[in-house]
């Protein structure tokens, strides 16, 4: 066996794979450098903050996370939420919100919520991602056009747009030319995969052009000052318990978004590699939690895994988490080497990069396809989530999207019958065996119903209305396909059985699953039916009723012989229950 290199919290990595992972990390680090600057500017913080986030959050998440491929740092998905928080609470609030979000993510991972996040409705994800894209693109118009005099403290989308329109007279031609030229270049250049990232070429090219022709275009240093070349000093000066309580809702929204984005990135990465080894969702949340706890101490902001950078790493040859760690090291080296030069980057070039990023995360082709093909009712979820994301904020958008999805799901579940009568006339459900259908046909004096699905609050009313409550005949209720029954279902079933007993009709529950049987016994329903052990099959129940009927017929015949006349008494539930 060859020598292996063991990375912390990772499987053994063959020495032969180290070069390709280092190479991949180099590529992703170069790609991340301009993106982190652009995303930091979009979130309303100095560019160096975005770079520190990639360095510290990126390395910790790669080492401790549950995905071999996720690249973590500032992402476009969080930009609208962070910008809103920076405007309303101040830039210093982002560090505290990041730490609280990290604690929440850590708790989610330890409590094994990783798999639950995957059940977030897809249309909700598409809706708020598209809303995020619109917010990012709209938020970059001022820098793209070089507008001056605009109010950076405006909170809502319509206010920002109205403010931009009022200042259209201050358009800076140099900024507009750089911005539009950068968008055109990236649109053409990135039409197919390239070895050199378009964002890097735009940053370098726009900076050289602006300096060479002495263009009067706003730059990073003009707005934020020169970028430091040194590492930050660890600090907890931002921590305030009272303020932490106040920021808890925003931090929870950041945590949920970070969890969804990171796990979605991990799923995409697994699909791209296809080697059978999947990510660990709970461990990924733990890694992201630790990353967001440490990052603000080192001058960073909330971070999450970035799908685009993760995909870039895989395409560049990544096979392990070493690629993500190298990416962070590369960003750190670029900070030390190129920080002063980064101050000369035109803001319009960064705006162009973010507009292209927004187009990518919106996934416009998929969005158009969904609008054309998705059920009309589900478009309410998509459109509502997107609209609220843009007009209000992401916290409300997620809650609204999930709520609308649940209402639509409940609406469809209510339409699914939970119980249906089996008549044995050839029109029965396909999953009813012929022997049972024949038995039902041979015993018209017995009611036979088949139940399926879940007896819950959403179906209890339909279940109750389907079963006869006042029919004196014995009811066989086949529960083979009932996988769960909640308290609403238990109360409803108990009411049906008790009403039937009051009318002289008894009930037999057959083919009951063990987990459902335990619930029925614990609730006291087992004592109300003819087979308290709940261990009869449907075939056995019909045979028991047949034997009871035969015994009754023999008794009546003997009675007629002894007394000289027929005794026409129908079988009672008590007779059937004694067999």
Distance separating alpha carbons of residues 45 and 83, to the nearest angstrom: 9
Looking at the structure, tell me whether residues 324 and 467 fall in a common domain. Answer: no
Any domain includes 450: yes
CB contact burial 420-429 (16+ within 10 A = b; e otherwise): eebebeeebe
342, 375, 408: which is the final residue of a domain? 375
- Which pair of structure tokens corresponds to residue 293? 């706890």
Would residue 513 count as lying in a domain? yes
- Give the model's confidence band at 10: pLDDT under 50 very low, under 70 low, under 90 confident, else very high: very low
State the pTM of this model: 0.70
Asked if residue 360 and residue 465 are part of one domain, the reply reads no
Question: 111-120, 496-505, 541-550: which has the highest mean pLDDT?
Answer: 496-505
pLDDT reported for residue 424: 46
- pLDDT of residue 561 exceeding 70, the answer is no
Domain end point (choices 375, 410, 428): 375
Taking only Cα atoms into account, the Rg of the chain, rounded to an integer number of angstroms, comes to: 33
SS3 483: strand
| Residue 456 confidence (pLDDT) | 82
Q: Could you tell me where the beta strands, DSSP code E, fall in 29-131?
A: 72-73
Is 80 exceeded by the pLDDT of residue 500? yes
> Where are any strands of DSSP class E within 462-527?
474-485, 507-510
The number of folded domains in the chain is: 2
Q: Quick one: 47 and 153 in the same domain?
A: yes
pLDDT computed for residue 302 by the predictor: 97
Phi, psi of 139 (to 5 degrees): -70, -15
Instruction: Kindly give, in sequence order, each residue whose CB lies less than 8 Å from that of residue 93, ignoring residues fewer than 6 positions away.
Output: 85, 86, 243, 247
3-state secondary structure at position 219: strand
The two beta strands, 474-485 and 72-73, are unpaired
Cβ contact 87:154 at 8 Å: yes
CA 170, distance to chain mean position in Å, is 42
**pLDDT at residue 417, as a whole number:** 59
Q: Are 21 and 323 in contact (CB under 8 A)?
A: yes
Task: Calculate mean pLDDT across residues 296-303.
Answer: 96
pLDDT in tens, 228-246: 888 889 999 999 999 999 9
Return the pLDDT at 374: 74
155/241 same-domain check: yes
State the average pLDDT over residues 34-57.
Answer: 93
Same domain, 542 and 463: yes
Q: Strand runs (DSSP E) across 247-353, as ranges?
A: 304-305
Do 245 and 361 belong together in one domain? yes
Domain identity same for 361 and 438: no
Among 212-226, 253-267, 460-474, whose mean pLDDT is lowest?
Answer: 460-474
Q: Is residue 483 part of a domain?
A: yes
Residue at 3 is within a domain: no
Q: Which of 349, 375, 401 is the last residue of a domain?
A: 375
pLDDT at 296: 96
Q: Is residue 567 part of a domain?
A: no
Write phi, then psi, for 453 (nearest 5 degrees).
Answer: 90, -135
Percent of the chain with pLDDT over 70: 88
Residue 563: its pLDDT value, please?
47
Q: What does the block give as tokens for 300?
A: 């960073």
| The pairing of beta strand 446-455 with beta strand 419-421 | antiparallel
Q: Widest CA span of the chain, in angstroms?
A: 124
Q: What percent of the chain has pLDDT over 90?
A: 35
Distance between CA atoms of residues 65 and 269, nearest Å: 14
Q: pLDDT confidence of 330, banded at 50, 70, 90?
A: very high
Highest mean pLDDT among 154-158, 204-208, 226-230, 566-570: 204-208
Domain assignment present for residue 578? The answer is no
Are 132 and 353 in contact by the 8 Å Cβ rule? The answer is no
Please check whether residue 478 lies inside any domain of the structure: yes
The CATH number of residue 486's host domain is: 3.30.750.24
Tokens of 174: 């140099």
pLDDT for the residue numbered 262: 92
Residues 483 and 366 in one domain: no
What angle separates helix 376-391 from helix 394-415, to the nearest 10 degrees? Answer: 170
Domain residues for 341? 16-375
Among 194-203, 302-311, 405-414, which stretch is predicted with the lowest mean pLDDT?
405-414
Asked if the structure places residue 412 within a domain, the reply is no
Q: What is the mean pLDDT of the chain?
A: 84
Token code pair at residue 198 = 């378009």
Q: Does residue 308 share a domain with residue 423? A: no
Clarify whether residues 367 and 429 are in a common domain: no
278 and 357 together in one domain = yes
Instruction: State yes or no: pLDDT of 579 exceeds 50.
Output: no
Query: What residues contact 208, with CB distance under 8 A and at least 6 apart?
Result: none
Strand 474-485 relative to strand 446-455: parallel, antiparallel, unpaired?
parallel
272 — pLDDT class (breaks 50, 70, 90): confident
Pick left, alpha or beta for residue 467 (phi over 0 → left; psi -120 to 50 → alpha; otherwise beta).
beta
Same domain, residue pair 104 and 232:
yes
pLDDT in tens, 413-447: 666 556 666 654 444 555 678 888 888 888 888 88
Determine phi and psi for 73, rounding to 5 degrees: 175, -165
């Amino acid at each position: 066996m060859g020598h292996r290199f063991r990375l912390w919290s990772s499987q053994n990595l063959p020495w032969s794979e180290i070069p390709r992972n280092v190479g991949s990390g180099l590529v992703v680090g170069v790609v991340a450098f301009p993106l982190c600057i652009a995303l930091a500017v979009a979130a309303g913080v100095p560019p160096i903050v975005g770079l520190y986030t990639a360095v510290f959050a990126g390395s910790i998440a790669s080492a401790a996370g549950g995905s071999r491929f996720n690249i973590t740092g500032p992402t476009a998905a969080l930009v609208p939420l962070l910008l809103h928080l920076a405007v309303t609470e101040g830039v210093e609030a982002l560090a505290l919100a990041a730490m609280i979000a990290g604690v929440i993510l850590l708790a989610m991972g330890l409590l094994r919520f990783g798999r639950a996040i995957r059940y977030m409705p897809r249309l909700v994800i598409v809706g708020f991602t598209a809303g995020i894209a619109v917010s990012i693109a709209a938020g970059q118009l001022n820098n793209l056009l070089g507008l001056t005099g605009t109010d950076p403290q405006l909170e809502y989308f319509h206010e920002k747009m109205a403010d931009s329109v009022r200042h259209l007279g201050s358009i800076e031609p140099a900024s507009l030319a750089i911005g539009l030229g950068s968008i055109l270049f990236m649109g053409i250049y990135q039409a197919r995969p390239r070895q050199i990232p378009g964002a890097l070429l735009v940053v370098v090219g726009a900076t050289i052009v602006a300096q060479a022709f002495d263009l009067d275009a706003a730059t990073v240093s003009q707005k934020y000052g020169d970028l430091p070349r040194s590492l930050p000093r660890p600090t907890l000066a931002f921590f305030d318990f009272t303020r932490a309580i106040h920021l808890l809702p925003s931090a929870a929204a950041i945590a949920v978004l970070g969890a969804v984005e990171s796990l979605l990135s991990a799923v995409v990465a697994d699909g791209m590699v296809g080697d059978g080894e999947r990510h660990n969702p709970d461990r990924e949340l733990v890694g992201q939690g630790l990353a967001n706890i440490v990052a603000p101490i080192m001058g960073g902001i909330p971070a999450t895994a970035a799908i685009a950078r993760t995909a870039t790493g895989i395409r560049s040859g990544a096979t392990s988490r070493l690629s993500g760690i190298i990416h962070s090291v590369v960003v750190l080296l670029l900070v030390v080497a190129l920080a002063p030069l980064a101050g000369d980057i035109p803001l319009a070039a960064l705006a162009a990069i973010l507009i292209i990023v927004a187009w990518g995360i919106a996934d416009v082709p998929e969005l158009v396809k969904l609008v054309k093909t998705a059920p009309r009712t589900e478009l309410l979820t998509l459109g509502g989530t997107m609209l609220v994301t843009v007009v209000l904020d992401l916290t409300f958008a997620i809650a609204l999207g999930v709520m609308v999805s649940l209402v639509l799901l409940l609406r469809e579940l209510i339409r699914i019958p939970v119980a249906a009568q089996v008549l044995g006339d050839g029109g029965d459900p396909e999953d009813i065996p012929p022997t049972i259908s024949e038995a039902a046909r041979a015993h018209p004096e017995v009611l036979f119903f088949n139940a399926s699905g879940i007896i819950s609050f959403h179906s209890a009313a339909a279940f109750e209305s389907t079963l006869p409550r006042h029919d004196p005949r014995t009811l066989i209720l086949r529960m083979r396909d009932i996988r769960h029954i909640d308290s609403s279902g238990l109360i409803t079933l108990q009411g049906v059985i008790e009403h039937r007993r009051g009318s002289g009709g008894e009930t037999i529950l057959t083919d009951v699953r063990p987990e459902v049987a335990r619930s029925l016994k614990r609730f006291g329903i087992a004592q109300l039916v003819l087979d308290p052990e709940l261990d009869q099959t449907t075939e056995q129940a019909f045979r028991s009723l047949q034997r009871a009927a035969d015994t009754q017929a023999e008794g009546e015949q003997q009675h007629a012989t002894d007394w000289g006349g027929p005794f026409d008494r129908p079988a009672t539930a008590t007779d059937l229950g004694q067999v």
